[in-house]
Chain A
Amino acid sequence: AQSVTQLDSQVPVFEEAPVELRCNYSSSVSVYLFWYVQYPNQGLQLLLKYLSGSTLVKGINGFEAEFNKSQTSFHLRKPSVHISDTAEYFCAVSDSGGSNYKLTFGKGTLLTVNP
């Protein structure tokens, strides 16, 4: 079985500052990794995903993430955040085996961008 740990429950930053949201995973098999964003009172929206190939993945809204197999990490980054990026961010994992149809989520990181 796989699991996901999001190391920070809350991350406050100022507008136009860079941000990194950390995610580590645990699995006995190869994994596929995802970041979702949830704006207040809304459902989850896919930001980006790593399936294979280049370890640097670019997503929507200027976000990117890097898959690091040796450190079992998939940290999300943005070089300059906006007020509108305030949301909760979830890291999720799907394994390469028979459970490849569903996701296991981390507990989420609340990103608050202050003016």
Chain B
Amino acid sequence: DAEITQSPRHKITETGRQVTLACHQTWNHNNMFWYRQDLGHGLRLIHYSYGVQDTNKGEVSDGYSVSRSNTEDLPLTLESAASSQTSVYFCASSSGRLDGRSSGNTIYFGEGSWLTVV
């Protein structure tokens, strides 16, 4: 079955280190997203991509970067990890628009990556 996988699932890192979270999907979806989930904030969009070489900032993009060199992967990099970036990170993907013009379209989520910055 097609799927979306994240790695590592759990990571502890030190303040100031660079960290990369991997996301790989086998649906051949054009759209990929990174969200972070924090208690009291729900899910907030960090970065997203609508295709190869396309990247866009979400509402909480400071301190994060992404690159899209192929359809399957959207790695998320924390350039210099901070304690405020301790969170659960979710990667997601979809094939197109979410409205009725492409019925059945939806966003699929990975299992999450738990990141602790100490």
Q: Does A42 contact B (CB under 8 A)?
A: yes
With a cutoff of 8 Å between Cβ atoms, the chain B residues found around residue A104 in the complex are: 45
With a cutoff of 8 Å between Cβ atoms, the chain B residues found around residue A9 in the complex are: 40
Question: Interface-forming stretch among B14-22, B65-73, B75-83, B90-98?
Answer: B90-98
With a cutoff of 8 Å between Cβ atoms, the chain A residues found around residue B107 in the complex are: 46, 102-103
Shortest Cβ gap from B101 to chain A (Å): 9
Question: Interface-forming stretch among A14-22, A69-77, A78-86, A93-101?
Answer: A93-101
What string of 1s and 0s marks CB contacts (under 8 Å) between B46-82 and chain A?
Answer: 0010100000000000000000000000000000000
Shortest Cβ gap from B76 to chain A (Å): 15
Say yes or no: A101 contacts B112, CB within 8 Å.
no
What string of 1s and 0s marks CB contacts (under 8 Å) between A42-73 and chain B?
Answer: 11111001011000000000000000000000
> Which of A90, A103, A106 has the most chain B CB atoms inside 10 A of its CB?
A103
With a cutoff of 8 Å between Cβ atoms, the chain A residues found around residue B45 in the complex are: 102-104
Q: Which residue of B lies closest to A49 (CB)?
A: B106
Selected from A42, A103, A105, A108, the residue in CB contact (under 8 A) with B98 is: A103
Say yes or no: A102 contacts B33, CB within 8 Å.
yes
17 other A-B residue contacts (CB within 8 Å) besides A32-B99, A100-B98:
A34-B106, A43-B110, A44-B43, A45-B109, A46-B106, A51-B98, A90-B42, A94-B99, A100-B97, A101-B48, A101-B50, A101-B96, A102-B98, A103-B45, A103-B107, A105-B44, A107-B41
Instruction: Tell me the A residues contacting B by CB distance below 8 Å.
Output: 6, 9, 32, 34, 36, 41-46, 49, 51-52, 90, 94, 96, 100-108
Among all A-B residue pairs, the 7 with the closest Cβ atoms: A107-B42, A43-B109, A105-B43, A51-B100, A44-B109, A94-B98, A105-B42
Instruction: Tell me the B residues contacting A by CB distance below 8 Å.
Output: 31, 33, 35, 40-45, 48, 50, 90, 92, 94, 96-100, 103, 106-107, 109-112
